[in-house]
Amino acid sequence: MSSFENEGPVRVSFEGDIAQVRIDNPPVNASSQAVRAGLLKAVEVVNARGGVHAAVLSCAGRTFMAGGDISEFDGPAPEPHLPDVLAAVEASRVPFVAVLHGTVLGGGFELAMCCAYRVAVSGTRFGLPEVRLGLIPGAGGTQRLPRLIGAEQAVQLCALGKQLSAEELLDLGGLDLVVTKGALDEAVSQFVANLPERPQALSQRDLPQFPQQSYEKLEGLVRKQAKGAAAPLHNLEAVKWASEMPFSEGQPRERALHLALRDSAESRGLRHLFFAERAAAKPRILKGVSAPHIQKVAVVGGGLMGCGIAMALLAAGCDVIMVERDDAAAHSAKERLKGLLDGALSRGKMSIEAVESALQRFLATADYAQCADVDLAIEAVFEDLDVKRDVFRALDNVVRKDAILATNTSYLDPILIFEGVTWPERCIGLHFFSPAHIMKLLEIVRLPTTSDAVLAAGFALGKRLGKVSVACGICDGFIGNRMLAAYRRQADYLLADGCLPEQIDAAMRGFGLPMGPYELQDLTGLQIAWANRQRQAETRSPNERYIPFGDLLCAREHFGQRSSRGWYQYREGERAPLADPEVENMILDWGRRNSVVRHTFTTEDIVARIMAVLINEGFLIIEEGIASSAEDVDLVQVHGYGFPRWRGGPMAYAREIGLEDVSRHMEAVAAQSPNSWRIAKALAL
């Protein structure tokens, strides 16, 4: 077998009349500039040699090309450009046979579509996830895919971010062969030796008109799922071009829009999160630190939170011992967990085998002694310091000395919770968000005594549970709840000075939040924030402006949806919030009694002031070392509090609008409520 000593990530070799073109660009064979140049060279070498029957294109490592190199997107695209490289592959006299495995995404799928033939290993997945990066494909994806599998299916992948299995793509006519991994080499040899007639290149194929009714239905679906993001609709529009114009017109139009979107705030925000999520999973301080393995976990407290944590652990293959205060409570906890498992089964999230396996690995008990051999014990009991301390006193007496002890507290000081526990280096905070088996965010709270190994174990467990884990220090509310408290306080100031709940909620929903602050309080219940305000009363500055509306509602036992009244009123059995004249009167009466002159705030004012407070609190949290980066603050907001992903997070949003603007709005906030806000250094311009 002779081979060309071509350098770089693309190598060409020959076995008789078959060329082997191999891409090796770890970790995911992204189409970097070197890969694009190497591939272009490979097409030239293969065609210049003469007598070559076919060129087999494959990738080393865990996956075929998984897309363009996202890290290149911040700057101008260096030549050769991917569309040109793919055009060369498609036009190659020697037919290319793509051998596909792993996740064939974005530019990788575009490359595969330019090959004359496509053979895939069973289990390979295909997609055009550019939409998740605020983009449309930039190398023919929206123009070739409809010509391969039809426009309707192409919209599912381009605009809705759906992926296809190899079998599904085969059924749609997008692959020539799907084989098991073990049979791949032989199957490819056979296939290449007996190539079917070469199909017409996708760029040459015509496409029927996109049926208007189908298009309109899909447009509604795409708009609904987009939740304010622009890229999904751009993808839909680009796919439609494929049925309206020849490839020669559609592809340049796609490329131009792709490049323009690379420079959009939406794409910058989504790319920022893409890398932030990966960086957060591997804190620099843990480089080289080995994490003790966690298999057996005790969960103390079988309420909604405890069962959610248990569910997440069981789904990840852990063994769970759930401890409750007595046998009856343990039985109820087991029934609650079985309810969650049945729900996962009925929604197709878990197979019957997985549910049975989970139940075999689950034990509910009232006997702490059953925890003697756990690797980690976490409490999810009532948010009361003494109750939590009692739990750890009991655990401390039975668990191994190397067993990790974790608190799930949302607001209490973990140092006080663990006071007196032996081997304090094993203590950590693992703050899950309810429902814990669904919410992605996990705040991992490091105590001064927490060892690196225990911290690493927390991150390893978070990764195993599929969480977005963010390291945080100790303060009231850690990162997310502290920012939520600031956000709600500013919303209350706006109520006091001229707004009504429905106006503020509408403004924040229009910004992209799933619901506004008052709808959310009604949904989760006003009691939690009430208890927190009472807890903070003794340490709150007497000069800080205090708005009592939430307390007044709780005093009337208007706790929200569950009590049919809160900030809104609710018809029996319904959840639609209805403006409550009593709430408006309460706000106006209070204003009159306190000689407040109410103002008119526009939607823009409301958003600007609330965002300024959220960003300011984020900067304070970073400046105090509670969060290690703006990226981590954004991850907390996006994965824990519904901040619109396509805006990248409050800190990314601040970068987009400019800190001068944020600072100006924060000054207005501070003037609106004197002595009530600390201004972060980053905003004290």
- Residues designated as active site: 110, 130
Torsion region of 635: left, alpha or beta (phi above 0 gives left; psi -120 to 50 gives alpha) = alpha
**Chain-centre distance of CA 211, in angstroms?**
34
In sequence order, what are the residues at sequence separation of 6 or more whose Cβ sits closer than 8 angstroms to the Cβ of residue 148? 113, 154, 172, 173, 174, 202
Nearer to ligand T1G, 116 or 139 (CB): 139
| 159 versus 380: smaller Cβ distance to ligand T1G | 159
Give DSSP secondary structure letters for 599-627. Answer: ----HHHHHHHHHHHHHHHHHHHHHTTSS
Of residues 27 and 348, the one with the C-beta less far from ligand T1G: 27
d(CA 431, CA 207): 52
Please, which residue, 278 or 571, has the CB nearer to ligand T1G? 278
The single residue listed with the structure tokens 């509910």 is 364
DSSP lists the bridge partners of residue 127 as 105, 163
My answer on whether omega of the bond before 27 falls inside 30° of 0, hence cis, is yes
**Inter-CA distances, 203 with 83, 119, 126, 139, 477, Å:** 12, 20, 19, 12, 55
Distance CA 677, CA 665 (A): 13
Which CB, 86 or 378, lies closer to ligand T1G?
86
* Nearest distance in Å: CB 262, ligand T1G: 8
d(CA 327, CA 463): 33
* Burial degree of 213 (CB within 10 A; 0-12, 13-18, 19+): exposed
162 burial (CB, 10 Å; 0-12 / 13-18 / 19+) is middle
Binding site for ligand T1G (CB under 6 A): 27-28, 30, 63, 66-71, 82, 103, 105-107, 110, 129-130, 133, 135, 137-139, 141, 275, 278
Of 249 and 402, CB closest to ligand T1G: 249
* Nearer of residues 67 and 283 to ligand T1G, judged by Cβ: 67
Q: Helices 231-242 & 151-158, crossing angle to 10 degrees?
A: 160
Shortest CB 102 distance to ligand T1G, Å: 7
Q: Whose Cβ is closer to ligand T1G: residue 38's or residue 138's?
A: 138
CB of 275 to ligand T1G, least distance (A): 6
Least separation in angstroms between residue 307's CB and ligand T1G is: 28
d(CA 570, CA 566): 9
Angle at 83 between CA 138 and CA 66, to 5 degrees: 60
Q: How far is the CB of 177 from ligand T1G (least distance, A)?
A: 23
To ligand T1G, the closest distance from the beta carbon of 62 in angstroms equals: 7
DSSP assignment of 238-261 equals HHHHHTTS-HHHHHHHHHHHHHHH
Give me the least distance between CB of 68 and ligand T1G, in Å please: 3
Smallest separation (angstroms) from ligand T1G to the CB of 291: 17
- Asked if 441 and 635 count as a contact pair (C-beta separation under 8 A), the reply is yes
